[in-house]
A and B are shown apart, each in its own frame.
Chain A
Amino acid sequence: MSKQRKAVALISGGLDSLLAARTIQEQGVHVEGINFYTGFCVEGHTHAIRKKDKATPKRNNALWSAEQLGIKLHIVDIIEEYKDVLINPKHGYGANMNPCLDCKIFMVQKAKEWIKENDFDFIITGEVIGQRPMSQRKDTMPVIAEESGADDRLLRPLCAQNLPMTLPEREGWVDREKLHNFSGRGRKPQMALANEFGFEDFAQPAGGCCFLTDKSYSDKLVDLWSSRGRKEYDLDDIMLLKVGRHIRPDKHFKVIVAREDGEARFLQGYKKDFINMNCASHRGPLAMVDGAPTEEDLLVAAQLTARYGQGRDAEEVEVTIREKDGTERTVTVKPFKGDEIPKEWFV
């Protein structure tokens, strides 16, 4: 009896990785999933911080995919190691701060290490030629296989028939005829295959699965690096970039103003890390002050905080300023009018 072969599937939570994994399961291969957490993954519940998203299911789609497939999912924290990928991408950035090609190479490389440690035979991804402008092109897909070191142990079941044969095909672990020849950005073949497999309610994130592909988020990251004079970040930095209005009146300080209750609740957790403030005389948002503000800067921050509260049209608003150690004082400020805030302050 021939040995049952084992494959690890990179599971993003999107449709393509779901279909790729099922395609290989159908051929009798034992499949387990692996999901890498960079800190920039949209799959986290960071969208759910905002109250407006309350109606959307608070599920992690990678876990959901694994459950649909009936496979184990190994979620791997690569936050620290990923910093070098983002800060020094060999192949550069995409339209925003997305180092997609380096990212894919890195993840496949990590998967290769994983299969070696866990005695698996090959790696599956949901990549499709022409699907993405940077990492899923005919000329870059071989680069991923080569630079990751996975070489011909990397199988892309959805477009395998358009690519050279891989080890699992040559060795007969999978039947190439039962793999697919998808290409391009169209989604019809994927939808048809999903229908054939009976998958419903799968995730199709419009902006991809990474915050770094988002212009607004990337602008905030660049601003963070620029204000610090060096490219560095920690997990709290990148979480806070997902939340609130970011307003930078000067290079040495920035004000983060919660846009609604969900964000305010999230920011509450950072009260000991930042000087923070909220309106005392009116209902209003919680705001954090990042950097090294002077007393004068704090008054500007208070005016901004008042601007986004219910006292925005009042002559005066009392704002409570809280130091990191919890000591409080209240100041009275005139809220900024909308046209008094320079556009360039908004990050």
Chain B
Amino acid sequence: MSKETLNAKRLLCPLPVIRTQDKVKTMQIGDVLEVVCTDPGVMQDIPAWCRINGHKVLETITDEMEYTIILEVG
């Protein structure tokens, strides 16, 4: 199991979702990906994308101007 971080700052949705999708394609089931974003829309969209595609959101963190989503590849 590996843990990776994806920098999706400054990107507007759906680009953070697309970058997440493309990154997850290169990972294995059980791997963990931390996505760091600045568009608050990701708090809705990345969990929705995870639900549709069978991945699990482990944690979401809001920190003033940054939004971090930690997911486990399903």
Contact A58/B21 with A37-B15, A43-B14, A44-B14 known, Cβ cut-off 8 Å:
no
- Min distance, Cβ B20 to any Cβ of chain A, angstroms: 10
B: residues with CB less than 8 A from A are 10, 12-15, 17-18, 21, 38-41, 43-45, 48-49, 51-53, 65
Chain B residues within 8 Å of A63, by CB: 14, 17, 45, 48-49, 52
Which one of A68-76, A294-302, A334-342 contacts B?
A68-76
Is A198 engaged at the interface, CB distance under 8 Å to the other chain? no
A73 x B39 contact (CB < 8 A): no
Chain B residues within 8 Å of A265, by CB: 65
B41 x A45 contact (CB < 8 A): yes
- The CA-CA distance from A42 to B49 in the complex, in Å, is 18
B12 x A45 contact (CB < 8 A): yes
How many contacts between A and B, using CB within 8 angstroms? 68
| Residue in B closest to A64 when the chains form the complex, CB atoms | B48
A57 x B44 contact (CB < 8 A): yes
B12 x A239 contact (CB < 8 A): yes
Which range holds the interface residue count of chain A?
Answer: 20 to 34
- The CA-CA distance from A76 to B18 in the complex, in Å, is 7
Contact A77/B18 with A45-B13, A45-B39 known, Cβ cut-off 8 Å:
yes
B14 x A48 contact (CB < 8 A): no
With most chain A CB atoms within 10 A of its CB, the pick from B38, B44, B53 is: B44
A58 x B40 contact (CB < 8 A): yes
Interface residues of A in 37-88 (CB under 8 A from B): 37, 41, 43-46, 48-49, 57-60, 62-64, 66-67, 71-77
- The CA-CA distance from A74 to B25 in the complex, in Å, is 11
- The CA-CA distance from A46 to B39 in the complex, in Å, is 9
B13 x A44 contact (CB < 8 A): yes
Interface residues of A in 228-262 (CB under 8 A from B): 239
Chain B residues within 8 Å of A75, by CB: 14, 17-18, 21, 49
- The CA-CA distance from A286 to B17 in the complex, in Å, is 29
Chain B residues within 8 Å of A239, by CB: 12
A77 x B15 contact (CB < 8 A): yes
With most chain B CB atoms within 10 A of its CB, the pick from A43, A44, A71 is: A44
Contact A59/B10 with A37-B15, A72-B53, A77-B18 known, Cβ cut-off 8 Å:
no
Chain B residues within 8 Å of A44, by CB: 12-15, 41
Chain B residues within 8 Å of A57, by CB: 44
- The CA-CA distance from A74 to B38 in the complex, in Å, is 22
Q: Which of A43, A45, A46, A73 contacts B52 (CB 8 A)?
A: A73
| Residue in A closest to B41 when the chains form the complex, CB atoms | A45
- The CA-CA distance from A270 to B27 in the complex, in Å, is 32
- The CA-CA distance from A63 to B10 in the complex, in Å, is 21
- The CA-CA distance from A23 to B15 in the complex, in Å, is 29
B52 x A71 contact (CB < 8 A): yes
- The CA-CA distance from A139 to B45 in the complex, in Å, is 37
| Residue in B closest to A33 when the chains form the complex, CB atoms | B52
- Min distance, Cβ B67 to any Cβ of chain A, angstroms: 11
Is A269 engaged at the interface, CB distance under 8 Å to the other chain? yes
| Residue in A closest to B42 when the chains form the complex, CB atoms | A45
B15 x A60 contact (CB < 8 A): no
B40 x A269 contact (CB < 8 A): no
- Min distance, Cβ B45 to any Cβ of chain A, angstroms: 5
A48 x B40 contact (CB < 8 A): yes
- The CA-CA distance from A202 to B38 in the complex, in Å, is 27
- Min distance, Cβ B15 to any Cβ of chain A, angstroms: 7
Chain B residues within 8 Å of A49, by CB: 12
Give me the 9 closest cross-chain CB pairs, A-B, nearest first: A45-B41, A45-B13, A63-B48, A58-B41, A60-B45, A77-B18, A269-B10, A59-B44, A75-B18
A60 x B52 contact (CB < 8 A): no
